[in-house]
Amino acid sequence: MSFDIALVFDSIPKMLEGIGLTLELLFLSTSIGLILAVITLLMRISGRRFLAWPAMAYIYVFRGTPILVQIFVIYYGLPQFDLIRESIFWAILREPFGCMVVALSLNAGAYVSEILRGGLLGVDRGLHEAGKALGMSTPQRFIYITTPIAVRLAIPAYSNDFISMLKATALASTVTLLDMTGVARTIVAKTFAPYEIFIAAAMIYMVMTWFIQRGFGLFERRMSRYVKP
| Footprint on this chain of other proteins (rule: CB under 8 A) | 76, 79-80, 85, 94-96, 174, 176, 178, 182, 185-186, 189-190
- Contact between 224 and 156 (Cβ < 8 Å): no
Q: Which is nearer to other proteins, 98 or 118 (CB)?
A: 98
Nearest-approach distance from CB 85 to other proteins, in angstroms: 7
Residue 39 CA to residue 109 CA, distance in Å, equals 9
Q: Which is nearer to other proteins, 110 or 200 (CB)?
A: 200
Nearest-approach distance from CB 79 to other proteins, in angstroms: 4
Residue 190 CA to residue 210 CA, distance in Å, equals 30
* Environment class of 223 (CB within 10 Å of its CB; exposed 0-12, middle 13-18, buried 19+): middle
Nearest-approach distance from CB 74 to other proteins, in angstroms: 12
Nearest-approach distance from CB 6 to other proteins, in angstroms: 21
Nearest-approach distance from CB 147 to other proteins, in angstroms: 42
Angle at alpha carbon of residue 64, lines to 44 and 100, rounded to 5°: 90
Q: Which is nearer to other proteins, 154 or 201 (CB)?
A: 201
Question: Which of the 8 DSSP states describes residue 143?
Answer: I
- Contact between 99 and 71 (Cβ < 8 Å): yes
Q: Which is nearer to other proteins, 14 or 128 (CB)?
A: 14
What amino acid occupies position 34?
L
Q: Which is nearer to other proteins, 117 or 185 (CB)?
A: 185
Question: Which of the 8 DSSP states describes residue 3?
Answer: -
In Å, what is the CA distance from 24 to each residue of 15, 64, 116? 15, 26, 24
Q: Which is nearer to other proteins, 77 or 217 (CB)?
A: 77
Alpha-helix residue ranges (DSSP H) falling in 73-193? 82-86, 90-93, 96-121, 125-133, 138-141, 147-168, 180-191
Nearest-approach distance from CB 187 to other proteins, in angstroms: 9
Residue 166 CA to residue 55 CA, distance in Å, equals 25
Nearest-approach distance from CB 173 to other proteins, in angstroms: 8
Q: Which is nearer to other proteins, 51 or 78 (CB)?
A: 78
Residue 125 CA to residue 90 CA, distance in Å, equals 47
